[in-house]
């Protein structure tokens, strides 16, 4: 009898599936997409209804051959890639490769890799979802049309290697817009007045002035604050009113993808990318002592807060047995989805609430444990009783015209907060303990303190707040956030400094050019509308072809206009408003091989160039050139002294034997190249490996003979040959999980040695 074949997306799922389906099925993995648009051409026939020309991915030839071989012996193929749009596209491409007149394909949507989840999925197979596939196709084509037609413009006008993306470019715009708001912000001065007071019984407490003559207290300067202090010097303070109430607080729903990313960034200090990688591991299956891997959480790409009735009932039993009946609900709590939420998947939750974090701790890596603990507690808390919080506010009068206020709160019943406190909750140590007082009772004044403040601009975006901003504006989808944040950093458009995103000079330049030439694509509302349109394609409400035609009609006009009118930063450059100190003509920002710099528009008659600085307001100033003739070191080529000089692209060391010896070495900021005692591994190169610092401040390792030798590595080379292959050196790697080790730099060699 022919065995049916299950094809999953990730090879790591195979072990988990085998545990539950045994020998009843053959199981194989596609290892992600097996087909894609061609790399070197657009791959979309615009004139022929945007037909896509898919090709087999070069590195997947062995996988495809294996799938074909396994499919020879079966008439039933169960397509079980991830239950989302990308998974649907993978399923359709597998069908196209394995299609046969005698073969039947079944779509299997596995939301949790457990016995129950797998059995339910196999018993409730579906037809492949053509609408979901169309939505993925529409997104892929839109991204290709934008990326492959705008990016060459940027290569021509700015520099090679740049890219534009339908969603990534809007994300960069959001960061640039926020930075410009910060730069133009003018702080305003204001003052607060607080009184340290004492009732008949301790403790003492601080109350803040909130009203003057029944109007909100607005103290603009120190003179006004001092006048109030003089007025209050001999004033009698007394309690005018006590407001007390018990507030019922409900828990947050279980995690959706975006909220999981935000919480993991804030609480665990994970990046969005790391969060998704670890969540994928928990979903695909981990050995927990049950005779094989087991999926510990439901599918982690979802924007639905829905949970199954079985899971809701299971957690109520668990809460009653572990926390007590006071913490359990009489009926499960269900949460309403947002209007645009896709309800195909449940919220992110543990597959079995009985698998408590402590029970699994010994089976998980530290990162897996911390993320699982967060998911488990948020889910259980979502089904736990309300918290009851006693809040008390004391209003205090002075002289009949000044009203002070102080608030405090205590937890009457913790409820769900026993497990998970919402991020906005005030920490107990920050809450004042208030004395027992009665209305009309007098208070003793210990001191009255004025304090100067200044208004602050909106903060720069962190990873968490940027994900929140993208989600709020409907830009992209939660499953794409991690890759978006990675791409905009890798392309050099933004930098993550002290956990805040700051646009680079390149980011501002590219953003401004794109906003001018492609206002639609860079419009936040337009991008959000496009996401809704893609959802409509998935729901069968909008045709893929109509979406593409509507988009491309206006895009093509902008593209043609930009080809002619977009400013060339390579040629003309960007106006700075500064005048050349040599000839008085305009200075523009230009971008060269090694970065951006100021150049006189009077070239070639005037060849003035300079580095420049921007202050916190974004104003540009010329950076004075420095020439330091103090000997720094001896030249490694000729032995003559080397001195520091300043060139178009920053400081560098130059041999004083020039022009007979043209050896130079780079200096980045205060970081001088340091020889690490390893010979350059490149053939026929006499250089040594030196430690350097990139423009973003990241350490890397390069050859001392640069630019003649281009060897470079982010990992530290070690002067030790690989025993398994012909690599003349190893690299030093370190991770929390595996510690410090030496590895072979050759990707095809798996040699590693623990230190």
What letter would DSSP give residue 214? T
Minimal CA–CA distance to 500: which of 525, 474, 465? 465
Angle at 184 between CA 181 and CA 190, to 5 degrees: 100
Surface-to-core class of residue 254, CB atoms within 10 Å of its CB (0-12 exposed, 13-18 middle, 19+ buried): buried
φ and ψ at residue 536, rounded to 5 degrees: -65, -35
Cα–Cα distance for residue pair 257/137, rounded to 1 Å: 22
User: Three-state SS for 204?
Assistant: coil
Lookup: tokens for 126 = 């579906």
Cα–Cα distance for residue pair 398/445, rounded to 1 Å: 11
Whether the bond between 343 and the residue before it is cis, its omega within 30 degrees of 0, is no
Cα–Cα distance for residue pair 480/165, rounded to 1 Å: 12
Mark whether 318 is an active-site residue: no
Minimal CA–CA distance to 463: which of 478, 480, 477, 482? 482
Lookup: tokens for 677 = 């005692």
User: Three-state SS for 716?
Assistant: strand
- Provide CB contacts within 8 A for 290, sequence distance 6+: none
Cα–Cα distance for residue pair 77/249, rounded to 1 Å: 49
Beta bridge partners of 36: 55
Q: How far is CA 438 from the centre of its chain?
A: 51
The CB density around residue 83, as the number of other CB atoms within 10 Å, is: 22
Cα–Cα distance for residue pair 520/324, rounded to 1 Å: 56
Task: Give the residue carrying structure tokens 């490694």.
Answer: 636
User: Three-state SS for 464?
Assistant: helix
The CB density around residue 313, as the number of other CB atoms within 10 Å, is: 13
Angle at 555 between CA 551 and CA 558, to 5 degrees: 160
Minimal CA–CA distance to 681: which of 613, 747, 727, 744? 727
Task: Please give the helix or strand (H or E) that residue 665 lies within, else none.
Answer: strand 664-668
Give Cα separations from 448 to 192, 228, 601 (angstroms). Answer: 11, 10, 61
Q: Are 254 and 378 in contact (CB under 8 A)?
A: yes
Active-site entry in 299, 372, 481, 706: 299
The residues assigned a catalytic role are 299
């Amino acid at each position: 009898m022919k065995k049916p074949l299950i094809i999953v997306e990730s090879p790591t799922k195979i072990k988990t599936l085998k545990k539950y389906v045994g020998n009843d099925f053959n199981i194989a993995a596609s290892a992600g997409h097996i087909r894609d648009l061609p790399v070197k051409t657009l791959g979309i026939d615009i004139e022929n209804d945007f037909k896509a020309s898919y090709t087999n991915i070069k590195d997947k030839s062995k996988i495809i051959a294996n799938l074909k071989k396994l499919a020879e012996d079966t008439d039933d193929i169960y397509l079980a890639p991830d239950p989302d749009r990308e998974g649907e596209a993978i399923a359709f491409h597998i069908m196209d490769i394995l299609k046969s007149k005698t073969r039947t394909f079944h779509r299997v949507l596995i939301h949790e890799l457990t016995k129950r989840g797998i059995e339910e999925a196999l018993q409730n197979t579906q037809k492949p979802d053509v609408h979901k596939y169309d939505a993925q196709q529409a997104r892929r084509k839109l991204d290709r049309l934008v990326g492959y037609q705008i990016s060459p413009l940027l290569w021509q006008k700015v520099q090679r290697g740049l890219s534009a993306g339908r969603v990534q470019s809007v994300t960069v715009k959001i960061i640039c817009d926020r930075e410009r708001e910060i730069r133009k912000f003018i702080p305003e001065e204001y003052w607060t007045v607080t009184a340290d007071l004492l009732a008949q019984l301790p403790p003492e407490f601080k109350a803040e002035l909130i009203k003057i003559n029944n109007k909100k207290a607005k103290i603009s300067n120190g003179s006004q604050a001092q006048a109030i202090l003089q007025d209050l010097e001999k004033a009698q303070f007394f309690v005018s009113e006590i407001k007390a109430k018990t507030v019922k607080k409900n828990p947050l729903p279980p995690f959706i993808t975006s909220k999981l990313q935000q919480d993991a960034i804030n609480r665990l200090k994970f990046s969005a990318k790391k969060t998704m990688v670890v969540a994928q591991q928990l979903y695909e299956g981990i050995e927990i002592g049950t005779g094989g891997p087991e999926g510990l959480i439901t599918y982690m790409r979802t924007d639905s807060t829905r949970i199954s009735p079985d899971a809701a009932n299971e957690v109520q039993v668990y809460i009653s047995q572990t926390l007590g009946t006071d913490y359990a609900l009489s009926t499960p709590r269900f949460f309403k989805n947002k209007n645009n939420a896709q309800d195909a998947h449940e919220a992110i939750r543990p597959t079995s609430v009985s698998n408590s974090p402590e029970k699994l701790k010994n089976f998980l890596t530290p990162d897996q444990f911390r993320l699982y603990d967060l998911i488990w507690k948020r889910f259980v808390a979502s089904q736990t009783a309300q918290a009851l919080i006693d809040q008390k506010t004391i209003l205090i009068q002075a002289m009949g015209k000044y009203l002070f206020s102080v608030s405090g709160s205590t937890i009457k019943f913790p409820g769900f907060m026993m497990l998970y406190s919402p991020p906005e909750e005030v920490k107990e140590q920050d809450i004042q303990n208030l004395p027992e007082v009665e209305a009309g009772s007098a208070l003793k004044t210990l001191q009255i303190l004025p304090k100067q403040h200044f208004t602050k601009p909106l903060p720069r975006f962190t990873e968490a707040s940027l994900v929140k901003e993208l989600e709020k504006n409907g830009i992209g989808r939660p499953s794409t956030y991690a890759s978006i944040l990675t791409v905009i950093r890798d392309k050099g458009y933004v930098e993550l400094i002290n956990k805040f995103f700051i646009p680079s000079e390149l980011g501002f330049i590219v953003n401004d050019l794109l906003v001018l030439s492609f206002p639609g694509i860079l419009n936040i509302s337009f991008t959000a509308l496009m996401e809704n349109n893609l959802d409509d394609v998935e729901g069968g409400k909008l045709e893929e072809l109509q979406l593409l035609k509507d988009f491309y009609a206006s895009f093509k006009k902008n593209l043609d206009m930009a080809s002619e009118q977009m400013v060339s930063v390579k040629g003309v450059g960007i106006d700075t408003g500064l005048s050349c100190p040599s000839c008085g003509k305009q200075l523009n920002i230009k971008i060269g091989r090694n970065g951006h710099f100021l150049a006189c528009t009077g070239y070639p008659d005037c060849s003035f160039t300079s580095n420049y600085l921007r202050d916190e307001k974004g104003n540009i100033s010329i950076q004075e050139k420095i020439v330091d003739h103090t000997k720094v070191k001896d030249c490694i080529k000729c032995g003559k002294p080397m001195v520091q000089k300043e060139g178009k692209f920053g400081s560098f060391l130059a041999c004083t034997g020039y022009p007979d010896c043209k050896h130079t070495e780079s200096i980045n900021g205060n970081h001088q190249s340091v020889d690490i005692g390893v010979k350059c591994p490149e053939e026929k190169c006499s250089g040594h490996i030196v430690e350097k610092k990139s423009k973003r401040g990241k350490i890397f390792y390069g050859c001392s003979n640069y630019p003649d030798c281009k060897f470079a590595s982010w990992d530290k080379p070690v002067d030790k040959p690989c025993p398994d292959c012909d690599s003349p050196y190893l690299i030093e790697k370190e991770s929390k999980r595996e510690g410090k080790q030496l590895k072979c730099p050759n990707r095809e060699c798996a040699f590693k040695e623990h230190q």
